[in-house]
Structure 1
């Protein structure tokens, strides 16, 4: 069962740089904690809060030995002091650019307000070091299906200039939209399966994360 391991203010306080980590990043109100809880079928693995900006540390959760999920500090919350914002941003940049066991980055953004400056900076950092990215457009249940599809297509086109390995999907923790896509992507990253040898989507049921995690 996925469980909490440790919290750290920066990469110097993290466990050894080995195994496989998949990191989750997003603005403070993007629904990051809800996504982690939904993914792992646990109600309070990652603490959700009515007050954005509470995730101020790098939080590690172990899926199984050597395989970890990483909850990165939320960014972009206006009421946090500027000095603290800079500190968080430095920790984020160092983690993304220097953590060798990082195999994939999930960037979460509200489907109604995607690709803010810091979202784009996170994607750029990942692309610069060759880390694949899954963009989740959260709170997708807040839009009607037509508007949701239009936003999804707009963001897919908007990330093309980054020239990176970037997949964009709609997501809703409440309605379980896109949870299968997230699980499938994590299966690939944790097992380092080349995409060309994967079964078609209807043939996979994401056994890796569903088996007791």
Structure 2
């Protein structure tokens, strides 16, 4: 996809504050410090559209971006061992599950995993949420430049087995050399072209 324009729309935590759902949406989710910001910036050819940080958990809201006036990119809060107040962490699960369950124009979610790490319970839960709400999961394995080819293959088998998916469902990405960028865009464009998912009959709640 040729990126001509990317604009920040707004941040939100609840459905009444979401922007109008008149464009299809692709959301990004993953454990804190998994490379989500770097992936988003690389895909849209921007250096600082989404702030990268060595401190996990900086994204504590649902952030919406308009891409080419064609679809909305949604940056979901990172989960895991983020150094944020416990009260905030407790809000993340319900906030994200509500978005995944009720956002009628959601077409797919990029679930991001670190090639060096075995998926944790939150990763598995996120995948189960997507499956239960009939939302297309796009599995992206980041930081591939940090391991050898042999190690990548070994880790891919472990990641796929842990998640209960086929190894060919994994899309590998490196922020250093942009490996995998075109393949991920192909998956995104395929998800955007799909009709509304089965759970789309449920309109966004306003309370």
TM-score bracket for the superposition, by shorter chain length: 0.7 to 0.9
> Equivalent residue for 1:206?
none
Q: What is the SS of the residue equivalent to 2:169?
A: strand
Distance 1:53 1:13 in 2: 21
Q: 1:68-87, aligned counterparts within 5 Å? A: 68-87=72-91
CA deviation after TM superposition for structure 1 residue 78, in Å: 4.2
1:20-58 CA-to-partner distances (Å, cap 9, x unmatched) read 000000111011010000001110111111211100110
1:182 aligned to which of 178, 181, 184: 184
Moved segments of 4+, more than 4 Å? none
Q: Give 1:149's aligned residue.
A: 153
Structure 1 portions without partners, runs of 5+:
194-213
What TM-score, normalized by structure 2, do the two folds share? 0.85
Aligned residue for 1:109, secondary structure, equals strand
Do 1:10 and 1:57's aligned partners in 2 also have CA atoms closer than 8 Å?
no
Q: Which residue of 1 aligns with 2:175?
A: 173
Residue ranges of structure 2 left out of the alignment (5+ in a row):
196-207
Partners of 2:29 and 2:177 lie apart in 1 by 21
> How many aligned positions are there?
190
Q: TM-score, with normalisation over the residues of structure 1?
A: 0.83
Residue 52 of structure 2 is matched in structure 1 by 48
The answer to whether the 8 A contact 1:24-1:107 is kept is: yes
- Mapped pair 1:63 → 2:67: yes
Secondary structure of 1:86's aligned partner: helix
* Partner residue, 1:204: none
Which of residues 123, 127, 143 is equivalent to 1:123? 127
Q: Which has the higher contact order (CA 8 A, sep 6+)?
A: 2
CA distance in structure 2 between the partners assigned to 1:15 and 1:78 by the alignment: 27
Q: Is the 1:104–1:189 Cα contact (8 Å) retained in structure 2?
A: yes
Q: CA deviation at 1:9?
A: 1.8
Distance 1:40 1:66, change over 3 A: closer
In structure 2, the CA distance between the partners of 1:170 and 1:114, relative to structure 1 (3 Å rule), is farther
Q: 2:100 corresponds to which residue? A: 96
Task: Assess if the C-alpha contact under 8 Å between 2:56 and 2:83 holds in 1.
Answer: no
**Superposed CA RMSD:** 1.9
